[in-house]
Every structure is written in structure tokens, then in C-alpha cells.
Amino acid sequence: MTEEHKRTVVIPGETIKEGDAYLPGEGTEKQGNKIVALRYGLAEEHNRLVKVIPLSGVYQPRRGNIVIGKCNLITFNGWVIDIGTAENAFLPIMETPRYVAKDRLDEVMKIGDICVVQIFSVNGRGIDLTMKARGLGRIDEGIVFRINSNKVPRVIGKEGSMIKIIRDYTNCNITVGQNGYIWIKGDKIEDELFAKKAIMFITEKSFMEGLTEKVEEWFKENGGVKKETKKTEEKSGDKEED
Amino acid sequence: MGGEEIDITTKVTAERIKKYLEQGKRFDGRKTDEFRNIIVEPNVSNKAEGSVKVKVGKTEVIVGVKMETATPYPDSPNKGNLMVTAEFLPLSSSRIELGPPKFDSIETGRIIDRIIRESKFIELEKLCIKEGEKVWTVFIDIYTINDDGNILDAAGIGAVAALKLAKIPKYDEEKEKVDYKEYIGKLPLREMNPFTITVHKIGKHLIVDPTREEEDVSEARISIGSSEGIIHSLQKGNSGCFSAEEIKKCFEIVEKSWKELFKKVNAQLK
Amino acid sequence: MTSSFKRPDGRKVDELREFEAKVGIVPNADGSAMYRSGETIAIAAVYGPKKMHPQHSQNPEKGTLRCTYNMNSFSVSERIRPGPSRRSTEISKITEWALEPVLMLDKFQNMVVDVHINIIQADAGTRCAGINAAAMALAHAGIPMKDMVSSVSVGKLDKTIVVDLSKEEEDYEEGEGPTDIPISMTHSGDITHFQLDGKIDSKQLMEAVELAKKSCEQIYEVQKKALKDSIDLTGGED
């Protein structure tokens, strides 16, 4: 890692850089000739742009995010889905992959059911969802749990590298919702719990560098055997990070 | 509803928990009758006559004992009084809302009150200052710090431990005031360990010390307050049922878990 | 200042009690912290931003900060009856006012950020300890903030200005008696909370503010260190 990329933990109000050469990025503000942090997180400077990567904080819904939610209400034309945000999210009947009759909404999803959906818009009225893509739909089996949504990029890894390692060692299908909810489905419950344990390990060590190697080591120490890579669909979200 | 609702253990996860129990296994690798790691930290609040922090896995409670003088009840003119309250702080979980105490916290206070009272753990007859006029009141106050399931048993451990650490402050008879800076001795207790242990029923399976996830799936529970094999209090909770056969099994589980708690808790109070 | 005055615990007039801070003490919370000054211990947990209930309390313009200050019944010598009191209600509001100026909640319309403060052990200065813990917990929860807030109680014992009163000092009865002045300020020096009970002239009061400023600087350093130390970056640079 180059000097330029070096990250430091900053707290609100802390001066990250001084001098006119720097530009304020996300989570920062320019005060005079200083770049000041506006939240707790990891300060990073790249090409003179200074930003703060959050370590904590609630999930901020964004267009295109794949999320996991729970059906809270069925209306005459769709489902209200709780995706862990303050605003309710709505899945209109038109956004399901197949035609659904208006009196048969509960055949697709009942109250309390869990689903993988994608955000197609975030606006003043709320969040609109779709189920019309591969990998989206109701969850019928497996385990679902939550991690801090800020750690999602680490669990996915660069171009999905981390999630691939977990898949290879556990043989599970894993869907990581950008809202921090994770769905794991494997042949055996042991495999699912093994994958969950690996993910919890990643969330605990998420700020360390060389995390990918550490996770491989962890699997070996915990008796994991790398399975032959089978082609699995990349269902996880769109944000990736090394 | 708000963002918290989704945190209630989902149907699919609930099914998995049940299915795994069919094999006698739990998500965190424990046996069905095994407690999580228990940490007892004495004297966490120095203004209390006795205080303790109890951690059971990620669940954490703080229990304090305070002593005050009061007039005795007419039917027990020469005995001290006991008062137990539990406060489920919104600080300890997103599921706990602000406002007056809800049923869970009231029930926890009452269950702990009953085991301490009925087991006669505190020698209340030794807490009389002047018969018919002045006796000690022992307050046990329970606060939740982090709720990851089984607050009740953690509170019960905390109550027993805090009482074992408690001292009686000096009562100045002339000024008719308690001097909290001076202590005259230990709170008189009988040689016993009246823990409350709760057995939960999930499907056909009986488990102790549920995590939050397991507690969400629990259909019925039975909280048994006992010491050295003698049962002093009992409460069956939630809408599910137990067969007589299952109740018998619960007693066996409680007896075994009690021995485990006895060892673990007392070792940390030394 | 009179030189004959001696503090009961032997501290210098501008010396804080031994103090420490830690974050991440309530695993369930979105952010949490502990602040201890001498024998006063406060913990704080943050939940949110989340949807405000009841709906009529929602602010469509920006998010709401809601603080609740609560003392454990056994945190003081004379047991306090559990539940809110007039005193705790006032301190809760004072705490909100102390922290609101640094929070950037405009993006969180109709939402609430809950800060729950619990006093485990009390030996004076509980509201200040609560505010210190709360500021750290808010930062820890990732709430956008312009600055940190630090809080300290300055006092006048007879004629002498001292910092971070203990309970024994709060009960000082000689000469002009005790004056208690809890003050909170941002790191950049803006006063966000200011209260006073006792008897003091304006000149000495300004001295008290200066002392608070100096002391808050020390508290800020400890808050900052606690937040920074909670992240383990090792395995990389080290």
C-alpha cells in the first residue's frame, strides 16, 4: 500500500489535511484551508481527494442495491417490505417476474416472508423495489442474519473474491444484501453455520489489510476443505472493495 | 413499522434452528443443556451495599442491593422487607421501547422476588432494628445492559451474587439515620444458592440459556427457582404446553444446570 | 485566588479526577461508550437513525435527537426509585441541547436518533460524564457530526475556582459554600451547555469558563483516543 493510500482513523471535527491542495470528498468538509472529518471513520486520500470511509452507521438505500427484506404488509397492488431502513420499501405487483392476479398476492409472498429484492428507485415518497432479475425472489430455506452494513464490501471482497472463497470452502450459496442481511443456503446446516462463522470472522477483522489471505488461513485452521470451484451466480451487490 | 422489526428471527432461520435441534445441535455448537460462558464481576457500583455485573454470553445485566430502614409490615413486625425490581433499559436492545415498564421486566422482577423470598435465602428475621417499629428493607434492582437472550436467568444469578456480596450499613439510633459510609457486617444469608433456571421448549426439544434467536423461536418456557434440589418457585410462560413427561425432563435439566451454575458463579465470587 | 485552600482529595485546582473512556460496550447498540471520572461512571448507547414513533413527533425537516438520562437506583447512597424523575427529565433535555449543535441530522427527516445514558455509579458530575459518553457513542454510531463535545463541571469552593467536583466537594459548606457550574463545549470552543447553582461574580465566572475550556481539551484527547483505539488496523502498517 502506498503512502498516498494510507488510512487513518479520524473522529468528527478532526483536521485530516491542511493546505489548499486538497479537495473535500464524502464525509468531509473544507474549512479555510483544512479538510475536516464530518464523521467517524477511515480517512483516505487519493489524487488529492480526501474522504472518510464510514465504519458504522445505518444502511443508506441506493438505487441498484440488492437487499434482503421482510414482507410487512400486503396491499391491493403490491407488498410493503421492511429492508431495515426508516422508510418503508414497496414492491409493486408489476415488478414480479411472473403475472400475478390481484387476489393472489399472498401466493407470491405472505406477511413475514423473507425475500431478496433490488432497489430501483429512492425518492421522497419512499423506496421502490423490483424482483425482476436473476437471483431475486422469496427465500424459502436457509439461514438469514444481519451484519453491520458498512462491512458488506469486505464480505463481498474485490470483484467478489471474498465471497468466492467462502463458497469454495463451504459449498453454500450466499447472498449478501447491501443492507447487511445475509442469506446462506447449503446442503447441510453445518455448512451454512460454517459459512456464517467465516463471515463473522471477516466482520471482526474487517479493517485489517491482507484480509483475503487471513480468511484462507482461517478456513484451513478450522478444518475447511476447498471444494472444486463450481460456477455460481454472482448475486451479491454492486459495491466492491479490496 | 420501524427498522427493528426485521431483526426478529426470520421464519426460515427459525425452521433451521428447529431442524438442527432434531440432531440435538444448536447454532453456536452448545449442547441443549449447556449454558454460555458466564462471567461474574463483583462490586461494579460502590454506592450499592452489594453489586455485580453478570455476563452470560453476550447478555449482560447489572444487579445492585440497597438497604434502607422502614416500618415493618403488620403481619411480620420483627422481619425485614424485600423488594425486587427489574428495569429493561432501552439502552440494552432496539426492541425495548421508552416508557413505563412492560410485562417482561415486571415478570422478571416478580420471579426473582419469589425465589429469593420463598427460599428464605435472606435471614429477614435478623433484619429487625426495633420490633414493630423499624426494620431493614433489602432492595434488589436489576438493570439490563445488553439483551442477547435469557435475561431472566442472568438476573437470577446477579441477584444471588449481589446478595452474597452485600453488607449492612450502620444505623445510627440516636440520629435515626443510616450511615452508608460504615458497614457493620455481611447481610445474613442462609447457606444456599437459589438460582432460577429457565428451560425453553422448541418443537419437541428442551434447551437452557437460549440466545435471542432461540428465544424468538421458543414456544413455551418454564422457570424453576431451586437450591440444592429443592424447588422454591416456578413459572410456566408463553402459550405453548408441556407434557408431564417433559416437565420431569425439565427438572432433570435444571438440576444439572444448577450444579454447573453453582460451580461457575461461586468460583468468581471468591 | 486564595492559596490556603486544599481540595479534600489533594488535587490541584485545575486537576481532573483520574478518568478513562471506552467505546463499543453495548454490542446490540449502533454505537456505545463508557466515560468514567473518578468514581462517576456513565454509559451511553445510540440506536438509529430510525423511524420516529409516535408519528406526530416526526419532524419532516430533519432528524430528531432524543436523549434519556437515567440513574441506576443503587448508583448513590440513598436509593433512587427506578424510573424517570423531574431531575432526570431536565438532564435529558440539557443533554440534547448540549449535543444537537454538532449533529448533522438534516438528511434524516422523520427519523430519530436515540441516546440512552445510564449512570452506573455516581460521585458528582454525572450529567457531564453522561454527555461525554453520549458524544462518543454518537460518533461511534457513525452519526454525521461537525465536531465532538466534551463536558466538565467547574466549581467555586468558598472563593476558589476548581475543576471536576467530587460529591464531597459539592457538599462543601465553608465560607461562600459550593458553586457548581457544569459546562459543555465543542472542541472548537463553542459552549453548548451551561448551568450554575450557587453564588459567583461575572469575573470569576469567566475564569471558570476558561478553566472548563482547558479541561475539556484534556477530555477531548481521551475521547479521541478511545474512538481511535477501538479500530484494529494492525496486520498492515505495523
Q: What was the pLDDT predicted at B3?
A: 40
Whether the pLDDT of residue A7 is over 90: the answer is: no
Residues B90, C68: C-beta atoms closer than 8 Å: yes
Percent of chain A at pLDDT exceeding 90:
74
Cα-Cα end-to-end distance for chain C: 49
Whether the pLDDT of residue B1 is over 50: the answer is: no
Domain enclosing residue B189, as ranges: 11-269
Assign a CATH topology to domain C19-226: Ribosomal Protein S5; domain 2 (3.30.230)
Whether the pLDDT of residue A237 is over 80: the answer is: no
Whether the pLDDT of residue B197 is over 60: the answer is: yes
Q: What was the pLDDT predicted at B2?
A: 36
Write down the domain spans for chain C: 19-226
Widest distance between CA atoms in chain A: 64
Residues C79, B93: C-beta atoms closer than 8 Å: no
How do residues B30-71 score in pLDDT, each as one tens digit? Answer: 999 999 999 999 999 999 999 999 999 999 999 999 999 999
Q: What was the pLDDT predicted at C236?
A: 35
Whether the pLDDT of residue A234 is over 60: the answer is: no
Residue ranges of A 90-149 with Cβ closer than 8 A to chain C: none
Q: Which residues of chain C have pLDDT under 50?
A: 1-2, 235-238
- Looking at the domain assignment, is residue B2 inside a domain? no
| C-alpha span between C70 and B99 (Å, rounded) | 12
Burial degree of A237 (CB within 10 A; 0-12, 13-18, 19+): buried
Q: Which residue in C55, C69, C72, C126 has the most chain B C-beta atoms within 10 A of its own C-beta, making it the best mutation to test that interface?
A: C72
Q: Which residues of chain A have a CB within 8 Å of the CB of C222?
A: none
**Binning pLDDT at 50, 70 and 90, where does residue A137 land?**
very high
| C-alpha span between C217 and C211 (Å, rounded) | 10
Q: Which residues of chain C have a CB within 8 Å of the CB of B62?
A: 72, 120
Q: Which residues of chain B have a CB within 8 Å of the CB of A85?
A: 3
DSSP state of C216: H
Of A17, A80, C154, nearest to B1 (Cα)?
A80
* Residue corresponding to grid cell 463535545: C149
Residues B3, A181: C-beta atoms closer than 8 Å: no
C83: left (phi over 0), alpha (psi -120 to 50) or beta: left
Residues C74, B146: C-beta atoms closer than 8 Å: no
Q: What was the pLDDT predicted at B11?
A: 87
| C-alpha span between B218 and B198 (Å, rounded) | 11
- Looking at the domain assignment, is residue B5 inside a domain? no
State the cell numbers at A140: 424459502
- Average pLDDT of chain A is 89
In chain B, how many domains are there? 1
Percent of chain A at pLDDT exceeding 70:
92
> In the Cβ-directed half-sphere of A55, how many Cα atoms lie within 13 Å?
29
Residue range B176-200: average pLDDT? 96
How do residues A60-80 score in pLDDT, each as one tens digit? Answer: 999 999 999 999 999 999 999
Residue range B131-156: average pLDDT? 97
Taking only Cα atoms into account, the Rg of chain C, rounded to an integer number of angstroms, comes to: 18
Which residues 6+ apart lie within 8 Å of B87 measured at CB?
B101, B105, B141, B142, B143, B144, C82, C83
- Looking at the domain assignment, is residue B3 inside a domain? no
Q: List C-alpha distances in Å: B66 to A104, B94, B167, C77, C163.
A: 60, 29, 9, 8, 30
**Binning pLDDT at 50, 70 and 90, where does residue A3 land?**
very low
**Binning pLDDT at 50, 70 and 90, where does residue A5 land?**
low
Whether the pLDDT of residue B147 is over 70: the answer is: yes
Question: What CATH number should be reported for the domain holding residue B71?
Answer: 3.30.230.70
Across the interface, of C50, C117, C120, the residue whose CB is closest to B4 is C50
| C-alpha span between B92 and B142 (Å, rounded) | 13
* Residue corresponding to grid cell 422487607: B81
Against chain B, the chains showing at least 3 CB pairs within 8 Å are A, C
A87 close contact with C: CB closer than 8 A: yes
Residues C236, A209: C-beta atoms closer than 8 Å: yes
A55 close contact with C: CB closer than 8 A: yes
CA distance C181 to chain B (A): 24
Nearest CA in chain C to A150: C142
Whether the pLDDT of residue A160 is over 90: the answer is: yes
Residues C45, B45: C-beta atoms closer than 8 Å: no
| C-alpha span between B182 and B148 (Å, rounded) | 38
Q: Which residue in A81, A82, A196 has the most chain B C-beta atoms within 10 A of its own C-beta, making it the best mutation to test that interface?
A: A82
Q: What was the pLDDT predicted at B148?
A: 96
pTM, two decimals, is 0.93
Q: How many helices (H) and strands (E) does chain A have?
A: 5, 16
Domains recognised in chain A with CATH numbers: 3-54 (2.40.50.100), 66-139 (2.40.50.140), 143-221 (3.30.1370.10)
Across the interface, of B6, B12, B25, the residue whose CB is closest to A82 is B6
**Binning pLDDT at 50, 70 and 90, where does residue B83 land?**
very high
Nearest CA in chain C to B48: C74
- Looking at the domain assignment, is residue B125 inside a domain? yes
Mutual angle of helices B11-22 and A189-204, in 10-degree steps = 120
Residues A56, C31: C-beta atoms closer than 8 Å: yes
Tally of CB atoms within 10 A around B202: 22
CA distance C84 to chain A (A): 28
Q: Which residues of chain B have a CB within 8 Å of the CB of A180?
A: none
| C-alpha span between C141 and A11 (Å, rounded) | 11
Q: What was the pLDDT predicted at C238?
A: 28
> In the Cβ-directed half-sphere of C109, how many Cα atoms lie within 13 Å?
7
Residue range A141-150: average pLDDT? 94
Q: What was the pLDDT predicted at A209?
A: 77
Q: Which residues of chain C have a CB within 8 Å of the CB of B144?
A: none
> In the Cβ-directed half-sphere of C161, how many Cα atoms lie within 13 Å?
19
